[in-house]
């Protein structure tokens, strides 16, 4: 998934046999996809199939299939056309459109679960690769003083702002770009990054440069078997493991920056 995301695929759907990956026709790079396929042909016997999907009213199709979810019996994540449920202390309304982050994927679920165990009260939070801004919204609802979010995709910025407004979270600022491109100032108590292994390894040093000593870095978007690689990189930046979690084959890591460096 991580490699296909770098080949312009932006939507993934897992099933019992593997996963489906979607890309806009104009962005489809056949040569790059064949290169990725050939790489895995050398170590296994994966099956690939390709099909072109005709244009549809995707909002209508999505509404047919999108169902609300509950994370750890505490947080209801729903669309605006679903009923609210006051049994849960936290509620997030998400209209994802083309952005990643509805809580249905294991990595988002893990991030939400872990965030609800963390103290966000009056904290300054960074959300790297915010997608729908679901994590920014939760941070705000958990009491964060200020949330700075960013994503490389313009539609994520637009969608994230819409979702922040729907959830009445006025303390979220969303920019377009990578962490090395956006305008940031000060330092952060918490950094959230649900992206993929390659990006996390590449950008971990940048996250730390903005993180307060004693601050928390919460990561997901990688498989359980990737944990050793991420911990090895974390140790290079004086990060210690606080906890880890797993759902199916996916994992999350909560790290802290050493007070003494």
Per residue in 42-86, pLDDT (tens digit) is 888 888 888 888 766 655 666 666 789 999 999 999 988 889 999
Q: Which residues form the domain of 26?
A: 2-41
136 belongs to a structural domain: yes
Mean pLDDT in residue range 215-240: 96
Shared-domain flag, residues 34 and 122? no
The angle subtended at Cα 182 by Cα 244 and Cα 220, nearest 5°, is 15
Total domains in the chain come to: 2
Averaged pLDDT score across all residues of the chain:
90
Q: Is the pLDDT of residue 199 over 90?
A: yes
Shared-domain flag, residues 12 and 107? no
DSSP H or E run through 90 = strand 90-93
77 belongs to a structural domain: no
pLDDT level of residue 243 (50, 70, 90 thresholds): very high
54 belongs to a structural domain: no
From CA 188, how far away is CA 211, in angstroms rounded?
5
From CA 79, how far away is CA 66, in angstroms rounded?
8
């Amino acid at each position: 998934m991580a490699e296909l995301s770098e080949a312009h695929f932006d939507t993934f759907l897992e099933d019992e046999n593997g996963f489906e990956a979607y890309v806009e026709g104009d962005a489809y790079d056949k040569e790059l996809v064949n290169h990725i396929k050939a790489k895995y042909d050398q170590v296994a016997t994966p099956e690939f199939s390709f099909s072109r999907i005709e244009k549809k009213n995707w909002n209508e199709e999505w509404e047919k299939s999108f169902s609300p979810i509950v994370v750890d019996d505490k947080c209801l994540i729903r669309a605006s056309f679903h009923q609210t449920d006051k049994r849960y202390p936290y509620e997030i309304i998400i209209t994802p459109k083309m952005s990643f982050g509805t809580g249905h994927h294991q990595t988002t679920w893990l991030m939400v679960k872990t965030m609800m165990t963390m103290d966000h009260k009056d904290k300054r939070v960074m959300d790297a690769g915010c997608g729908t801004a679901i994590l920014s919204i939760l941070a705000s609802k958990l009491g964060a003083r200020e949330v700075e979010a960013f994503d490389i995709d313009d539609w994520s910025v637009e969608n994230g702002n819409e979702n922040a407004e729907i959830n009445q979270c006025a303390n979220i600022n969303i920019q377009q770009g990578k962490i090395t491109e956006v305008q940031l100032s000060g330092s952060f108590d918490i950094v959230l990054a649900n992206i993929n292994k390659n990006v996390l390894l590449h950008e971990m040093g940048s996250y730390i440069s903005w993180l307060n000593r004693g601050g928390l870095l919460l990561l997901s978007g990688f498989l359980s078997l990737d944990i050793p690689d991420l911990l090895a990189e974390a140790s290079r930046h004086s990060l210690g493991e606080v906890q880890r979690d797993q759902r199916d084959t996916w994992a999350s890591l909560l790290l802290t920056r050493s007070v003494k460096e």
